[in-house]
Amino acid sequence: MVLIVRLPAQPSRHRVAVWRELRKVGALSLGQGVWAVPDVPVFADGVQRALGVAERAQGETVVLRAAGRGPRDAARFEAMFTAAREEDWAELTADCGKYTAELDKEIGKGKFTLAELEEEEQSLERLRRWHRDLKARDVFGAPGAQEADRQLAECARRFEDYSERVFARLHAFGADASAEADVDAGTERETS
- Closest by alpha carbon to 85, among 152, 128, 32, 147? 147
List pLDDT tens digits, range 9-33. Answer: 888 888 899 999 999 899 999 999 9
pLDDT of residue 154: 98
Rounded distance between C-alpha atoms, residue 118 and residue 124, angstroms: 10
- pTM for this model (two decimals): 0.79
List the chain pLDDT tens, one digit each, 192 residues. 999 999 988 888 888 999 999 998 999 999 999 999 999 999 999 999 999 999 999 999 999 999 889 999 999 999 999 999 999 999 999 999 999 999 999 999 999 999 999 999 999 999 999 999 999 999 999 999 999 999 999 999 999 999 999 999 988 765 554 444 343 333 343 444
